[in-house]
């Protein structure tokens, strides 16, 4: 299991960009579709993609770049 969770949804172009950027940095992450949970829909629906560090609870909202991601 990874410490990073990328919240998004299917067909979200920005979510795809965020996942690609995470892949480029080599950061291991789990993608979670917010449509699977109404709580996630309410919390993240207008903000996706959002990267969550599960151990600290910190969130990184889009837009972010490689430097912001590595500093996160």
pLDDT digits (tens, 9 = 90+) for 17-45: 999 999 999 999 999 999 999 999 999 99
1 vs 31, higher pLDDT: 31
Domain boundaries, the chain: 16-49+56-71
d(CA 63, CA 48): 9
CATH entry 3.40.30.10 includes domain 16-49+56-71 = yes
% of the chain surpassing 70 pLDDT: 99
Residue 2: pLDDT band (50, 70, 90) is confident
Q: What is the pTM of this model?
A: 0.94
Q: What angle do CA 41, 19, 58 make, to 5 degrees?
A: 60
% of the chain surpassing 90 pLDDT: 97
Q: Is the pLDDT of residue 1 over 90?
A: no
């Amino acid at each position: 299991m990874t410490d990073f969770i990328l919240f998004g949804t299917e067909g979200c172009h920005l979510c795809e960009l965020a996942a690609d950027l995470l892949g480029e940095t080599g950061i291991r992450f789990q993608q979670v579709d917010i449509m699977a949970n109404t709580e996630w829909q309410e919390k993240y629906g207008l903000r996706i993609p959002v990267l969550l560090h599960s151990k600290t609870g910190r969130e990184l909202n889009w837009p972010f770049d490689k430097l912001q991601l590595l500093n996160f």
